[in-house]
A = this chain, B = another copy of it.
Amino acid sequence: MSKTDKRELILHAALELIAENGFHGAPMSTIAETAGVAAGTIYRYFENKDDLIREIYSSLEDTIWSAIKEHYPEGCPIRERFLHISQSLIGYLLAFPMEFRFIEQFQNSPYGVDCRREKFFGKKDKDIVTELFEEGQQQQIIKDLPLPILSALFFGPLVDACRDHILKFINLDDDLIARIIEANWDAIRR
């Protein structure tokens, strides 16, 4: 087993345990056991638990952002770009529920307090959405509300709906997804 494999096993075990049980249901001993590795071994790959957790989060953030950026219809009409972002975000969250749960755990913990408002977007990521909103406002397509409010109207319900789906409170099929995105559009469009 290569060095990289073992590192991946640890990352995966930690992601899975934290997603399912929260940070406090994922002691290092259990992460080690799940990864098929001894407790001490984790510390050859990660400085400490914080480091391990941040490593997972930052790689997830990159992945999600690439997923959204892929085939992004740069230069196309506002609505088309809005649809693309909505669909690829939902697509990712539903395809990777464990990753989604992890991100939520992270955001709602001391680790994530600083970037709470930006949800899945760091500085560079925010630009594309900010850009979309500002351009939409200039074209009188999108309501003239502060950007954080537009973000709340846009992302809040999408994320909530995905969580409800993953927790089996509802079943999100393609039709329902389309109607949610439409309702979201109604909220932000003029």
Q: Could you tell me how many residues of chain A have their Cβ less than 8 Å away from some Cβ of chain B?
A: 38
Number of identical protomers: 2
A108-B108, A169-B120 given as contacts; is B149 within 8 A of A187 (CB)?
no
A160-B152, A161-B152 given as contacts; is B113 within 8 A of A108 (CB)?
no
Contact of A110 among B22, B113, B188 (CB under 8 A): B22
- Contact yes or no, B183 A187, CB < 8 A: yes
Instruction: Check: A141 CB closer than 8 A to any chain B CB.
Output: no
CB-based nearest B residue for A113: B167
Contact of A104 among B24, B108, B148 (CB under 8 A): B108
- Contact yes or no, A157 B187, CB < 8 A: yes
Contact with B along A139-174 (1 / 0, CB 8 A): 000010110110111001101110110010110000
Contact of A157 among B120, B156, B161 (CB under 8 A): B156
- Contact yes or no, A149 B180, CB < 8 A: yes
- Contact yes or no, B22 A176, CB < 8 A: no
CB-based nearest B residue for A183: B187
Complex Cα–Cα for A184 and B184 (A): 9
Q: Which of the listed residues A25, A104, A157 has the most CB atoms from chain B within 10 Å of its own CB?
A: A157
Instruction: Check: A179 CB closer than 8 A to any chain B CB.
Output: yes
Q: Which of the listed residues A117, A152, A163 has the most CB atoms from chain B within 10 Å of its own CB?
A: A152
Instruction: Check: A33 CB closer than 8 A to any chain B CB.
Output: no
- Shortest A126–chain B CB gap in Å is 13
- Residues of B within 8 Å of A143, CB to CB, are 179, 183
- The 5 tightest CB contacts between A and B, nearest first, are A156-B156, A152-B160, A108-B108, A187-B187, A152-B157
Tell me the A residues contacting B by CB distance below 8 Å. Answer: 22, 24-25, 104, 108-110, 113, 116-117, 120, 143, 145-146, 148-149, 151-153, 156-157, 159-161, 163-164, 167, 169-170, 176, 179-180, 183-184, 186-189
